[in-house]
Amino acid sequence: MTTHEVLNQPPPLVGYDIAQDAALLAAVDREGAGWAVADLHRLGTLGGTAEPQRWADQANRYEPRLITHDRYGNRVDEVEFHPAWHALMDVAVGAGLAGSPWDDARAGAHVARAAGMFTWNQVEAGHSCPISMTYAVVPALRNAKDLAATYEPLLVSRAYDPGLRPPLGKRGLLAGMGMTEKQGGSDVRANTTTATPDGAGAYRLRGHKWFTSAPMCDLFLVLAQAPAGLSCFLVPRVLPDGTRNVFRIQRLKDKLGNRSNASSEPEFDDTAGWLVGDEGQGVRTIIEMVAMTRLDCVIGSASGMRAALTQAIHHARHRRAFGRALAEQPAMRNVLADLAIESEAATVLAMRLAGAVDRAHRGDEAEQAFRRLAIAAGKYWVCKRQPAVVGEALECLGGNGYVEESGLPRLYRDAPLNSIWEGSGNVQALDLLRTLRRSPEALDAYRAEVAGHDPRVDAALAALPRDPDESAARRFAERLSVILQASLLVRHAPAAVADAFCATRLAGDWGHAFGTLPAGVDQQAIVERAAPR
Ligand SMILES: Cc1cc2nc3c(=O)[nH]c(=O)nc-3n(C[C@H](O)[C@H](O)[C@H](O)COP(=O)(O)OP(=O)(O)OC[C@H]3O[C@@H](n4cnc5c(N)ncnc54)[C@H](O)[C@@H]3O)c2cc1C
């Protein structure tokens, strides 16, 4: 540096605890996982160090590579990952973020895992895909008792054991899902892959899939047309006798983001599969997996927003312009506070949904009804907010935010994904309308949750349209989510956050971009609460 001194550049955000997050910790306690807080802080402290941040960068910079054949020309269909990917996966599985809550009798086990996902996903989002699918596969697999008895003990394991080998010889397994085909992803009933009974209790699959992520997983749930209609099958990559099942990976997707994670186009040809659930009930069976991955979409989007927000606040506190720290500039403070409100609303909703899942799986029927509607609304709206929040947070860093090393471009590229997969925006909103019609008890449970705490929330609830049609589906889903978020904030967040949320998101005293909070909001307190520690 012979020409100048480096001045006014913020230090990197390292040496903090990602889990030291007031909104998160209060929610963990409230939703019944206070016992997990020490582990959460350990995970958050690790995530806040330089090494995992390097893993995140490397796993995305050195992308997975498809190896179709070995050196002798044998088909192998493997994907090679950078060691950084394996390091991230090892921590995630070891921290119990994959299948382990299904093997944990403690109340709040799913909440503890959700909080861990929220925390560790802030380090790197791509590897959360196989972690999430492994978590989600268990309830669906339980529709085939024998298969569940065989594989569940390894899906709930905390051992990350990569590589294609016979499943039962491994210390832990990962699972994926193959639904989407070229001609349709939302409308999976259009699947053309066939499944023919082999006469010995299994089926032979023939066809293709257009998006199958994490193809190095050990097991997949795959939809295919059996004699009685669309059905769900367990497809292992390696057969019990050690030979490879046919899983020909044509290519890997060249994606906008999520680049650390491999998403593939596999072909099945005489591929062995075992029926899960009844023949003809494929959608009903796999939807139990999809319900769990939808929860993870909400957690992932809340986590992505929080990761971007903490970077923005950190930068604005250290960077000065026109004689003051950016965070002290009134216009910037309004932006940061507005982002912080959106982030906290997403966090409390994600954790409330995780609590509902936890209690529903322990037999609470009211929570089961509540989660049906609330996850659909949350998946629609929280995922929709992520690109907007991340884009604005990126701008808080100015030009530095546009540069890869800041980490914000990665967060930005990853931001639209949760809204696309596991039910894209419209499909999610339409699903919500279907739930409304088929399960009126879900709306009753939703009303019981949100009503009676605050007149502003009650007024918004009373103004909900009674029978929205398809064209109004998005608006209805958004409103349902915002009302639920408001109700959670008025009960559980400081008044500064809750009042600002109600004034803007419920009552509409707001602009069309972030940074348009009305006068009278205690922006300083809101930013202070959200700052990384
Ligand atoms: C990175 C990535 C990884 C993925 N991994 C997997 C995976 O592991 N396994 C898997 O099975 N799939 C996977 N997918 C596929 C994903 O689930 C689908 O892309 C998604 O479900 C949408 O399906 P589609 O792409 O066929 O779009 P389409 O179904 O063609 O939908 C296109 C658009 O039309 C809208 N739409 C559809 N129906 C209606 C309607 N009735 N009214 C109004 N609008 C409608 C949708 O909301 C969407 O916006 C992945 C996708 C991505 C991007």
Pick from 219, 200, 198, 222: nearest CA to 210 = 222
In a mutational test of the pocket of ligand 1, which residue from 186, 223, 384, 434 has the highest number of ligand atoms less than 8 Å from its CB?
A: 186
Task: State whether the Cα torsion 235-237-240-245 is positive or negative.
Answer: positive
- How many angstroms is it from 125 CA to the middle of ligand 1? 19
In ligand 1, the atom with minimum distance to the C-alpha of 425 is 47
Segment-wise mean pLDDT, segments of 10 residues, the chain, 533 residues: 93 98 98 98 98 98 98 97 98 98 98 99 98 98 98 98 97 98 96 98 98 98 98 97 97 98 98 98 98 98 99 98 98 98 99 98 97 97 98 98 97 98 97 96 97 98 95 98 98 98 98 98 98 96
End-to-end CA, the chain: 32
Q: Check: CB of residue 230 under 8 Å from CB of residue 223.
A: yes
Residue 413 burial (CB count, 10 A): 18
Phi first, then psi: give them for residue 513, nearest 5 degrees: -125, 165
pTM of the model: 0.98
Q: How far apart are CA 461 and CA 195, in angstroms?
A: 47
At residue 37, what is the residue type? V
- How many angstroms is it from 494 CA to the middle of ligand 1? 38
Q: Please provide the DSSP assignment of 453-520 as one string.
A: S-HHHHHHHHTS-SS--GGGHHHHHHHHHHHHHHHHHHHHS-HHHHHHHIIIIIT----SSSS-PPTT
159-173 CB burial, b ≥16 within 10 A, e <16: ebbbebeebeebebb
At residue 44, what is the residue type? G
- Nearest protein CA to atom 35 of ligand 1, as residue: 426
Q: Which pLDDT belongs to residue 1?
A: 66
In ligand 1, the atom with minimum distance to the C-alpha of 253 is 1
Q: How far apart are CA 134 and CA 219, in angstroms?
A: 9
Q: CA-based Rg of the chain, rounded to a whole angstrom?
A: 23
Helix (H), strand (E), coil (C) string for 114-168: HHHHHHHCCCCCCCHHHHHHHHHHHHHHCCCHHHHHHHHHHHCCCCCCCCCCCHH
- Nearest protein CA to atom 49 of ligand 1, as residue: 424
In a mutational test of the pocket of ligand 1, which residue from 177, 427, 475 has the highest number of ligand atoms less than 8 Å from its CB?
A: 427
248 beta partners: 267
Pick from 414, 411, 381: nearest CA to 396 = 411
